[in-house]
Amino acid sequence: MNPFDYARAGDVAEAVRLGAVPAAAFLGGGTNLVDLMRETVARPSHLVDVTGLSGGIEDTVSGGLLIGAGVTNTVLAEHFAIRTRYPVLARAILAGASAQIRNMATVGGNLLQRTRCTYFYDTDGSRCNKRAPGSGCDAIDGFNRGHAVLGASAACVATHPSDLCVATQAA
Residue 113 CB neighbours (<10 A): 19
Q: Which CATH architecture has domain 55-112?
A: 2-Layer Sandwich (3.30)
Q: What is the pLDDT of residue 97?
A: 84
Q: What is the pLDDT of residue 19?
A: 95
Q: What is the pLDDT along the chain (171 residues), one digit of tens a residue?
A: 889 999 999 999 999 999 999 999 999 888 889 999 998 999 999 999 998 887 899 999 999 999 998 899 999 999 999 999 999 999 999 988 889 999 998 988 888 888 888 888 888 888 988 888 999 888 887 766 556 655 667 788 777 788 888 788 776
- All CATH 3.30.465.10 domain ranges of the chain, comma separated, are 55-112
Q: What is the pLDDT of residue 162?
A: 81
CATH code of domain 1-53? 3.30.43.10
Q: How far apart, in whole angstroms, are the C-alpha atoms of residue 12 and residue 83? A: 29
Residue 164 CB neighbours (<10 A): 24
Residue 160 CB neighbours (<10 A): 15
Q: How far apart, in whole angstroms, are the C-alpha atoms of residue 82 and residue 84? A: 6
User: For 24-106, where are the alpha helices, taking DSSP H only?
Assistant: 33-38, 73-78, 80-85, 87-96, 99-104
